[in-house]
Amino acid sequence: MSLINHPNVVKAFCSFVVEQFLWVVMPFMAGGSCLHIMKAAYPDGFEEPIIASFLKETLKALEYLHHQGYIHRDVKVSSLLLLFVERICIS
């Protein structure tokens, strides 16, 4: 994963194993996960335009990974990390 180069995929600096646990060192994503944001600010769920935006960018990342021969085996909202967050207001 340290060779991955796509704006929508977090680059891994390194990884190592301690006992039976795999640790992956990645940049700090201050925005948190989509799940964290949804629970904190959108308890009734995201509006459709927000979901569409997240899905569009996620699919770009997955397409890149698949073309590189990788498969992400655990895609879920807690796996979608954000670098920063602004309060999203849809009118």
Residue 63 has phi, psi (to 5 degrees) of -60, -45
Contact between 49 and 64 under an 8 Å Cβ cutoff? The reply is no
Catalytic residue (choose from 74, 86, 89, 91): 74
Angle, vertex CA 5, rays to CA 37 and CA 55, nearest 5: 35
Query: Is 44 assigned a catalytic role?
Result: no
User: Where in the sequence numbering do the catalytic residues fall?
Assistant: 74
